[in-house]
A and B are shown apart, each in its own frame.
Chain A
Amino acid sequence: MDTQLKKGLLEICVLAELNRQDSYGYQIIKDLYKIVNISESTLYPILKRLETHSYLTTYTKEFDGRLRKYYRITENGKAKIQEFCREWSSITDIIDFIRGMK
C-alpha cells in the first residue's frame, strides 16, 4: 500500500483503538496487527505525532509490578475520527470514479 496513505490510515486506526479503551504500546500493536501490518518503528512516530497534535494524552500505570505507559484519546482525537468518517463518503466517490463506476 502507498506509504503516505497507509500512514494516514494508521493514525486513524490508532485513534480508533484508543476510542475503544485506553491502551499501551504492545497492546496497540497486537490489536492493529489483526487488520494491518504495523511494526514498533511505525507505531512510535505515529504516537508521537498524535500526542503533539493533542489527539491523545499519556499516563503511567503500574501493572503486575512494572510500569506501563497508557495512551488515552482526547476530545480532539474523537473529533478527528468523526472528521475522517465524514470525509469517507467523498473518498468512496473517488474510488468509484477510479474503478470507472461513475
Chain B
Amino acid sequence: MNKRDFFRIIRKKLNRFGDDVADDAVEFYEEIINEKIRETGISEEQAIADLGDPNKLAVEMASDLVAANKLKNPSRGMFWLLGSLALSPVLLPLAITAFTLYIVIFSVWGSLTIAFGGAAIGSIIGGVYSLFVLGNIGTSLICLGGALIAAAILSALCIVTFKYGLEFINLITVKLVRKIKKKTDKGDIIK
C-alpha cells in the first residue's frame, strides 16, 4: 500500500470529526513514515506496512474521539458506530445490541407518536362529525376535549424527545464505543 491509499482510508474514516482532526492524524503518521524511511532506509511500502491496518488505526482514533465526547452530531456517531462494528466479526454481538437498541428507541418513539397523533385526529373528526352531522354538542365537546389532551401529550412527547432523546442516543453510543475500545485495546500494540 502506498501513502496515498493509506491516508485516503484514514481520512475517510475520520472526516466526520472535522477536517482538522483528520489533518492532524495524517500529519502525525506522515511525519513518522518520513522519519522512519530517512533513518532506516526502508521502503515506503514497508514503513506503511509497519504501521498496521489503516482501518484499524482509524477506528482506534475515532473511538478515542467518540469516547472523549467530541461528537458534534449524535446521529453521525450512531452511523459511525454501526459502520465500524461491521469491520470485525468480534464486534458482531455488539453491533446487534446497538442496532436493536436504536431500533427499539425509534420504534417506541414512532408508535407513541402515531398513537397519540391518531387519537388526536380521530377525536377531532369525531367531534366535528357529532356537532355538524349528529348535532350532539355534548359528545362533540367530549371528543374535542380528548383531542386536546392527545395533542398535549403528543407535543410533550416531541419536546422530551428533542431535549433528551438525542442525548440518550449519544449516551448509548458512547457506552458502546467504550466497549469497542476495550476490545481493540486488547489486540493493540506493536509488532
Contacts and interface: CB of A to CB of B under 8 A. Distances in A.
A80 interface: no
A40 B185 contact: no
Interface of A: 3, 24-27, 29, 37-42, 44-45, 47-48, 52, 66-69
17 contacts: A24-B35, A25-B28, A26-B31, A26-B32, A26-B35, A26-B39, A39-B52, A39-B188, A39-B190, A39-B191, A40-B28, A40-B51, A41-B52, A41-B60, A44-B28, A45-B64, A48-B64
Given A37-B190, A41-B188, A68-B31, 13 more contacts: A3-B186, A26-B31, A27-B35, A38-B189, A39-B188, A39-B190, A42-B188, A42-B190, A44-B29, A45-B61, A66-B34, A67-B31, A68-B35
B167 interface: no
A59 to B, nearest CB: 14
Contact of B189 (A26, A39, A45, A67): A39
Contacts of B61: 41, 44-45
Interface residues of B, number: 25
B186 A41 contact: no
B26 to A, nearest CB: 11
A26 B37 CA distance: 11
A46 to B, nearest CB: 10
Given A42-B188, A69-B27, A26 B64 contact: no
Interface of A is mostly: helix
Interface in B36-51: 36, 39, 51
Contacts of A40: 28-29, 32, 51
B43 to A, nearest CB: 17
Contacts of B71: none
A37 B189 contact: yes
Interface string B160-191: 00000000000000000000001001101111
B98 interface: no
B90 to A, nearest CB: 16
A76 to B, nearest CB: 18
Of listed A29, A37, A45, A69, residue having the most chain B CB within 10 A: A45
